[in-house]
Structure 1
Amino acid sequence: MPSFIRSPKDFVSGLLFLLIGLAAMLIASDYPMGKAVRMGPGYYPMVLSGLLVIVGLACMIKSLATTGPALERVQFKPLILITVSVVLFGLLLRNAGMVVALAVSIYLSSLASSRFTVKAATITFVLLTLFCWGVFIKALSLPIPLVGPWFSALGLS
């Protein structure tokens, strides 16, 4: 890393934000933007992408001005566990239901932490399930099954 970068961790994270934001802007550029009063399908992704680019630039500029931590080795176990848990959540939500998708996602991603406890993961699971049920199913009336059709043979749906 060049010597003028005083916080390599901030610089690399800012670069990552910048690249993801620019990629999202490129993808969203094919969608109609609309106007602030009448937003098109590309408006919101473009605004969020722009904000992500700004955050990335701010982190990179900060890394030049303030001293910060050096880069650490990439920890592959947490990276893989969290990525797999998010993918499984998306795959399980429709057919297994919100309860199973959240359980798999929370317990699997909890294994990524060195401070994992079954008690903490269970408390997180219960509270997050209640929160998601209240917000997404009851308040917003989204068609998310609490228990999916995979469990209809068991009489649970």
Structure 2
Amino acid sequence: MKIKSQKDFFAGLMFAVVGGAFAWGASTYNVGNGARMGPGYFPLMLGILMSLIGLAIMFTSMTAETEDGEPIGKWAWKQIVFIISANLAFGLLLGGLPSIGIPAMGLIIGIYALVLISSLAGSEFDLKKVLILATVLAVGSYIAFIWALKLQLQVWPTFITG
């Protein structure tokens, strides 16, 4: 069969590979059954479902006719770098890196850094909107994780809270 939509084919391939990897990784955990689910049940079912969706997208990309074959464009390197950097900065600020002397800065500063760095990936940057979004996400995360779920996360840097 001939690939009639490259974008859909490779998107489906990505879904199938990632879903297969999740299902394979989850198979090492206790899966259980539908009535008594183990820790591997949800990731296994999610991985299988993701793989099936990917295979369906790949099949559709070979059967549905497109005008130009929808070729894959250039990689968006700027966006990739900023999004990955934002996630790394969030992890670093949330937990710190004690082995090299970087202290944990807490959830709130981590969220602000995440939003500020990832917003640089877009084509337009409005600092006021970014700060409003960061504030909403920080407050929402505090309510969800600290107040409602009672998770033991560091909220502020130790030099502020003592």
- The two structures share one fold, judged by TM-score above 0.5: yes
CA deviations on 1:83-116 (whole Å, 9 max, x unpaired) are 1211221222232111111011111111111122
Structure 2 matches for 1:39-118, cutoff 5 A? Answer: 39-64=37-62, 65-67=64-66, 69-94=70-95, 95-118=104-127
Q: Distance in 2 between matches of 1:122 and 1:79?
A: 22
Q: 1:141 aligns with which of 138, 150, 155?
A: 150
C-alpha contact (below 8 Å) 2:15/2:51 kept by paired residues = yes
Alignment deviations for residues 15-69 of structure 1 (CA, whole Å, 9 cap, x no partner): 0111111111221111111112211121111011112112211221222215273
What percent of counterpart residues are identical?
35
Which amino acid in structure 1 is aligned with residue 138 of structure 2?
T
Q: SS at 1:101's partner residue?
A: helix
2:5 is matched with 7
Asked if the contact 2:86–2:113 (Cα under 8 Å) also holds between the matched residues in 1, the reply is yes
Deviations 1:97-153 (A, max 9, x none): 111110111111111111222122112101111111111111111112221xxx323
Indicate the residue corresponding to 1:23 in structure 2.
Answer: 21
Question: Mind listing any 5+ residue stretches in structure 1 that lack a counterpart?
Answer: none
Aligned length: 151
Secondary structure at 1:143 match in 2: coil
Runs of 4+ deviating beyond 6 Å: none
Q: Which residue identity is paired with 2:24? A: L
TM-score under structure 1 normalisation?
Answer: 0.87
Distance between the aligned counterparts of 1:66 and 1:143, measured in 2?
A: 53
Q: Distance in 2 between matches of 1:19 and 1:66?
A: 24
- Alignment RMSD (CA, Å): 1.8
The unaligned stretches of length 5 or more in structure 2 are: 96-103
